[in-house]
Chains A and B, each alone.
Chain A
Amino acid sequence: MSGTIAEKILAKASGKKEVEPGDFIVANVDVVFAHDGTATLAFDVMKELGEERVFDSKKVVLFIDHAAPSPSPAISAIHTRMRIFSKTHNVKLYDVGNGICHQLLPSEGYVKPGSLVIGADSHTVTHGAFNAFATGVGSTDAAIAMMTGKIWLKVPESVKLELNGNLGRGVTSKDLILFLIGTFKADGFNYMAVEYSGSTIASLSVDSRMTIANMGVEMGAKASLMPLNESTKAWLSKRVQEPIIPVEPDKDATYYKTFSFEVENLEPMVATPPNVDNVKPITEVEELEVDQVFIGSCTNGRLEDIELALRILKGRKAKVRCIVIPASKEVYYEALRRGYIEELLKSNCVIGPPTCGPCIGAHMGLLGQNEVGVSTSNRNFPGRMGDREAKIFLASPLTAAASAVEGRITDPRKYLEGELQ
């Protein structure tokens, strides 16, 4: 048998010895989840298919994170329906204030190496950072997976991205993934599994790996897959009950293509409107005036991201509105305990409760007509974060913080001279 990480996980999930790209399989899911943007439509589909039911109440999870706390009575009704479903079917619901699904799912121990994770959210690919096959689906697929524990999948081709070297000063995992998206474009890996290898991914923290895996979908990837590394193993061992058995690619596994990059000379990158793959080095967009900065989301709302932002914001004041939203209660609490929240408040930042926030355009800091926002989130389509005439620039927490301090898009490296990387 010779398989990529994706092929090995999918073979196991479908009870086969091996699978090949192009095979149609019916696989058993290890966990399936939905949130307040997708869950109630899944419940509707269940009803159309007979009745609301779940195949295993321990393997179905619900999150209220996209518009939480509720900004309107209509959304409150959606939340109420989710609470009733949770009670009726004895399914775990992470209610208002717990945080974003992609942060909670692994931190609450639902993701382990080798598992098949199905989520009614496109950024489900995030969980590939934990050596799992994780992919996003719509509400009908989610409903069927919740009811039967099964999903049909086409085994994707695997592409290998070999990344070697250390990131330079002021350059983060966000800049790396933006660079890759700019290189391969929005449909570069459509229908494919992207498997990472090399020293860069092996040496990165859990938070950084999640940022990279998260945005794989912006290149069309069906899944982002990373080999387990030491930091991730240690992180998981505190949260997962079962033994942690990593899935490694076989030496003679077949890849559709392999691409290699040395990351040492990478610069801070920015995704400029109107598309995520419209990526430019920061030096080409510096000086543009900014109205609002947002640091948060499933892409960059973790503790490491807040630490990065504080490397620049600490002891300085944000000149423009700067909204910081921790990705989970755990992140929020740890930031509070370490004094980060106090520092952020001193820097004039606004702290929001754990939620997706303005990233999804539902509430909590939407941009007005012709406003310019710098955001650490994942999509910059017109209208995504407010008015369709607003402009969204996606960047790292370092770039976002430097831009908040200056009120214009700013290269963070000038604030980090003399700092040890």
Chain B
Amino acid sequence: MRGKTVKLGDHINTDFVISGKYKFKTQDIKELSKHIFEDLDPTLSQRIKSGTIIVAGRNFGYGSSREHAPRVIKEVGVSAVIAKSFARIFFRNAINIGLPVIAASESFIDSTNEGDEVSLDLEKGTIKNETKNIEETFKPYPSFISVVMREGGIVSYFKKYGALPWDTR
């Protein structure tokens, strides 16, 4: 997986990803995704293209448990989120719906700028800033979580194996 980055700061909350005021107008993810990051920066969505990799600071996705947040990020074409750290509910939700989320080192995030080309390999557990030629390995996830992530989420996993990941263990 490889893409150009959009760089965000620390503490990007799920209200910023998709404001509650829209979530209570419609539950349609396509419709909601038109308002992605609107309260953070109304022009931000224009920078996101298919294949964009979001690179962010600490505690990405904190606040509300709304699963619409990772879903709209996936809907607009973002292929992965790399951050210094994630809030726990967002992290679970992202894995469940098949949006790769990777915790990287502070130095990797700090030295990555908007527009840099970043590649990641979920199998090998590596991320690389191709523009700056910086590579690092990330801490691998426990086996069933990495399988879910590779298979594109819980629903895709279930469709393929006919069971939930922990049922087969």
Say whether A190 contacts B59, CB under 8 Å: yes
Nearest chain A CB to B95 CB, angstrom units: 9
Say whether B155 contacts A140, CB under 8 Å: yes
* B108 located at the interface, meaning its Cβ lies under 8 Å from any Cβ of chain A in the complex: no
Say whether A38 contacts B21, CB under 8 Å: no
Given contacts A38-B65, A186-B62, A383-B19, contact A148 B24 (CB under 8 A): no
Secondary structure at the A interface, as helix, strand, loop or mixed, is loop
A363 — nearest CB in chain B belongs to which residue? B24
Given contacts A74-B25, A187-B59, contact A140 B67 (CB under 8 A): yes
Q: Which of B8-16, B45-53, B121-129 contacts A (4 or more CB under 8 A)?
A: B8-16
Q: Mark A357-384, 1 if CB is under 8 A from B, else 0.
A: 0001111001000000000000101111
Q: Mark B50-86, 1 if CB is under 8 A from A, else 0.
A: 0000000011001111111010000000000000010
Given contacts A148-B164, A190-B59, contact A381 B13 (CB under 8 A): yes
Say whether A138 contacts B96, CB under 8 Å: yes
B41 — nearest CB in chain A belongs to which residue? A388
Say whether B39 contacts A388, CB under 8 Å: yes
The docked-state distance in angstroms from the alpha carbon of A45 to that of B67 is 11
User: Using a CB-CB cutoff of 8 Å, which residues 117-139 of chain A contact chain B?
Assistant: 120-122, 124, 136-139
B88 contacts which chain A residues (CB < 8 A)?
A: 190-191, 220, 222
Q: Mark A317-358, 1 if CB is under 8 A from B, else 0.
A: 000000000000000000000000000000000000000000
The docked-state distance in angstroms from the alpha carbon of A59 to that of B56 is 38
Say whether A362 contacts B20, CB under 8 Å: yes
A75 contacts which chain B residues (CB < 8 A)?
A: 24-25
A388 — nearest CB in chain B belongs to which residue? B39
* B107 located at the interface, meaning its Cβ lies under 8 Å from any Cβ of chain A in the complex: no
Say whether A383 contacts B38, CB under 8 Å: yes
Select A381's contact among B59, B63, B93, beta carbons within 8 Å.
B63
A384 contacts which chain B residues (CB < 8 A)?
A: 15, 19-20
The docked-state distance in angstroms from the alpha carbon of A72 to that of B21 is 12
The docked-state distance in angstroms from the alpha carbon of A121 to that of B97 is 17
A72 contacts which chain B residues (CB < 8 A)?
A: 25
Given contacts A24-B142, A190-B87, A383-B21, contact A37 B66 (CB under 8 A): yes
The docked-state distance in angstroms from the alpha carbon of A213 to that of B144 is 31
Q: Mark B1-38, 1 if CB is under 8 A from A, else 0.
A: 00000000001010110011101111100000000001
On chain B, the number of residues with a Cβ less than 8 Å from chain A's Cβ atoms is 43
A50 contacts which chain B residues (CB < 8 A)?
A: 158
* A275 located at the interface, meaning its Cβ lies under 8 Å from any Cβ of chain B in the complex: yes
* A207 located at the interface, meaning its Cβ lies under 8 Å from any Cβ of chain B in the complex: no
The docked-state distance in angstroms from the alpha carbon of A381 to that of B62 is 11
Nearest chain A CB to B59 CB, angstrom units: 4
The docked-state distance in angstroms from the alpha carbon of A106 to that of B99 is 34
The docked-state distance in angstroms from the alpha carbon of A138 to that of B86 is 15
Nearest chain B CB to A279 CB, angstrom units: 14
Q: Mark A24-56, 1 if CB is under 8 A from B, else 0.
A: 101000000000111011000100111000000
The docked-state distance in angstroms from the alpha carbon of A190 to that of B89 is 10
The docked-state distance in angstroms from the alpha carbon of A141 to that of B11 is 23
B58 contacts which chain A residues (CB < 8 A)?
A: 187
Given contacts A138-B66, A140-B67, A220-B87, contact A383 B15 (CB under 8 A): yes
Given contacts A78-B27, A138-B66, A388-B39, 18 further A-B pairs with CB under 8 A are A45-B155, A49-B155, A72-B25, A121-B65, A122-B64, A136-B65, A137-B93, A140-B96, A187-B58, A190-B87, A220-B87, A361-B20, A361-B24, A379-B13, A381-B63, A383-B15, A384-B19, A386-B21
Name A residues whose Cβ lies closer than 8 Å to a Cβ of B.
24, 26, 36-38, 40-41, 45, 48-50, 66-67, 71-72, 74-75, 78, 120-122, 124, 136-141, 144, 148, 150, 152, 186-187, 190-191, 220, 222, 275, 360-363, 366, 379, 381-384, 386, 388
